[in-house]
Each structure stands twice: as C-alpha cells, then as structure tokens.
C-alpha cells in the first residue's frame, strides 16, 4: 500500500530526480522565475522552500547544508546575500505557482514558479514606482516638446535670414547698376 508516500517521483530514478531538482532550484534562485510543468513545480517547491528557510540563518553550517543540495556556489551566494534579506520577516510560502495553460506539443500543464518577493507587478509598493517613471517620461516629452518649439523657432529664423540675405543682395545689385 502507498499510504502517506507523497513524494512525486516524476518518472525518474532517485539520482536523476535529485539532480534535476537541484538544477531547477539553482535556476529559480538565480533567475527568480522559471517556467516548467506543474508537477515539477510542486516537487520543486517542497525542495527549495526548506533551503530558503535555512538561508535565514547565515552561518557556515547552513551554507554548507544548502550547498550540499544545490552544488553551485553562485546560487548559494545569491541565496544568502540577495534572497535571504528580502524574505527575512516572511514565515514561509516563499514561492508562487502561476498556471499558464497547456504545452502545445504534449498538452502538459505548464506554470511559472517564482519567488514571491521578486514579482514587482503583484507587489503594491513596487507597482507605484513605474507610474512615477511614466510621469518622468511625460515630463521628458514636455521638455522634448519645448525643444521642438525651439527647433521650430530655429527653422523660422533661417527663413528670416534668407529674406534678410535676399534684401542685402538686392541693394548690392542696385548699387552695382
């Protein structure tokens, strides 16, 4: 009987599954968001969340424990330096699964697995910053509009200068006659 055997083997041997989850966890930590199948994302969530919890305590022992799972120095450094301070006050639930439909080739259910604190569109405070950037751009367009007006003035001034040159040439011609 399979009572309380909840791990999804994903149709792989134990060594293949561990290597795959380690690589996916490394990609998630480095890129903050990955696209994968829903089954793999659910398995990865149970793999990576305890590692993120370990990263809250920045000690040599916890770094070594996390490295034994990830096998990538850059990912461990990123986890302890960048990710850990952002999730320090969060009691759990560090990842989010967003379903995006089925894959065209084999109709597998696909999803996006992301770190919760790194999605700017879903964070309220971060969403206000791009609006401020848009305001700056519109102010830049006004400045660009002012430069366009000055360009128009420059275009008008050469026309006036051509008329002035023509007026200067006419007296010279009349003086020569």
- pLDDT for 120: 83
pLDDT digits (tens, 9 = 90+) for 71-86: 999 999 999 999 999 9
- pLDDT for 6: 85
Judged against a pLDDT cut of 60, whether residue 146 lies above it is answered with no
pLDDT digits (tens, 9 = 90+) for 2-19: 898 888 999 999 999 999
Tell whether the torsion through CA atoms of 58, 64, 68 and 70 is positive or negative: positive
Most confident listed range (21-25, 129-133, 158-162): 21-25
Judged against a pLDDT cut of 90, whether residue 48 lies above it is answered with yes
- pLDDT for 127: 46
- pLDDT for 72: 96
Residue found by looking up tokens 């919890």 in the block: 53
pLDDT band at 21 (very low <50, low <70, confident <90, very high): very high
Judged against a pLDDT cut of 60, whether residue 119 lies above it is answered with yes
**For the chain, what is the total number of helices (H) and then of strands (E)?**
6, 3
Percent of the residues in the chain that have a pLDDT greater than 70, as a whole number: 70
Give 67-75's long-range contacts (Cβ < 8 A, gap of 24+). Answer: 69/22, 69/25, 70/22, 70/25, 70/26, 70/29, 71/22, 71/26, 72/22, 72/26, 74/30, 75/25, 75/26, 75/29, 75/30
Mean pLDDT for the stretch of residues 86-102: 95
pTM beyond 0.75: the answer is no
Residue-averaged pLDDT of the chain: 83
Judged against a pLDDT cut of 70, whether residue 128 lies above it is answered with no
């Amino acid at each position: 009987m399979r009572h309380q055997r909840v791990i999804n083997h994903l149709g792989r041997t134990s060594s293949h599954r561990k290597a795959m989850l380690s690589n996916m966890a490394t990609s998630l930590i480095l890129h903050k968001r990955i696209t994968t199948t829903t089954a793999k994302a659910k398995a990865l969530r149970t793999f990576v969340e305890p590692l993120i919890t370990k990263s809250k305590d920045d000690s040599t022992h916890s770094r070594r424990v996390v490295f034994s799972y990830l096998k990538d120095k850059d990912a461990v450094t990123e986890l302890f330096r960048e990710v850990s301070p952002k999730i320090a006050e969060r009691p759990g639930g560090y990842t989010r699964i967003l379903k995006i439909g089925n894959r065209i080739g084999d109709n597998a259910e696909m999803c996006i697995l992301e770190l919760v604190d790194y999605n700017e569109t879903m964070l309220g405070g971060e969403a206000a910053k791009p609006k401020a950037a848009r305001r700056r751009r519109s102010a830049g367009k006004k400045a660009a509009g002012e430069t366009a007006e000055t360009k128009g003035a420059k275009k008008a001034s050469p026309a006036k200068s051509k008329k002035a040159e023509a007026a200067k040439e006419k007296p010279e011609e009349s003086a020569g006659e």
